[in-house]
Amino acid sequence: MPFPRDLPDQPQERVVRQLVAALLFEKLIEARCTPLDGTLCFEWHAPGYRFRGFGRLGPFDRLRVTPGSVQQAGADGHWRPAEPRALLAGLPMPDAHRAALLAELDRTIALCRWNAAHLNRRPRLDLPYSDLDAALEEGHPYHPCFKARLGFSDADHAAFGPEAGARFQLFWLAVARADLRQALPTAETAFWEAELGADAWADLARRRA
């Protein structure tokens, strides 16, 4: 279910809008703001591009960007809807970070489209808590990568994404040792054998080998 200000079936527009709002609020881009007919027109430049959009200042001086207003113009001078790749092109960041952020933005857009095509939306008023928690699929209204889930395929999203509402029982979750920091009171093997039993620990050790 889209937010009231979202344009129907245009998840890229929402991602672009929230990305621009975040970049402006975090002062990662410097835009010239001009009052215009009760709103603000903001413009800025990046290598090879000009950008513009409209909005208004909300609480905490955060810019509320008008849906559909963020545009870019290239060498031909023609204004068109802004794209994430162009917006990131001029930001001062390592190329690897830029590529990672773009991947999260692209995946957010893709999963929003998957949700629009596959979810059976229903009234939420009388849903029990667990079903209501799954039905709230809009994502964060500020962060532009509100549905990235890198590493999740579409099949993973359908099986384990909360929006899809598929039920499953989680028994164990394996985490790569390189991504894990643990502080145990005893040696690892002794600790887990005491917690799980020697047979269960041996079975888990065999499965993760």
Angle at 57 between CA 17 and CA 146, to 5 degrees: 30
Mean pLDDT estimate for the chain: 90
> What H or E segment, with its residue span, contains residue 57?
strand 49-57
Q: Residue ranges of the domains in the chain? A: 11-89, 95-164, 177-208
DSSP state of 91: S
For residue 10, the number of C-alpha atoms closer than 13 Å in the C-beta half-sphere is 15
Residue type present at position 39: T
Q: Can you tell me the mean pLDDT for 167-185?
A: 87
Q: Can you tell me the mean pLDDT for 72-91?
A: 92
Confirm if 63 and 24 have CB atoms less than 8 A apart: yes
Question: SS3 for 89?
Answer: helix
Per residue in 98-148, pLDDT tens?
999 999 999 999 999 999 999 888 888 888 888 888 888 888 888 999 999
| Model confidence at 3: pLDDT above 80 | no
Confirm if 75 and 106 have CB atoms less than 8 A apart: no
Which candidate, 4, 24, 9, places its Cα nearest to that of 144? 24
pTM of full prediction above 0.85: no
Q: Can you tell me the mean pLDDT for 182-200?
A: 93
11-89 topology per CATH: TATA-Binding Protein (3.30.310)
Tell me, what's the pLDDT at 1? 63
Between 61 and 66, the more confident residue is: 66
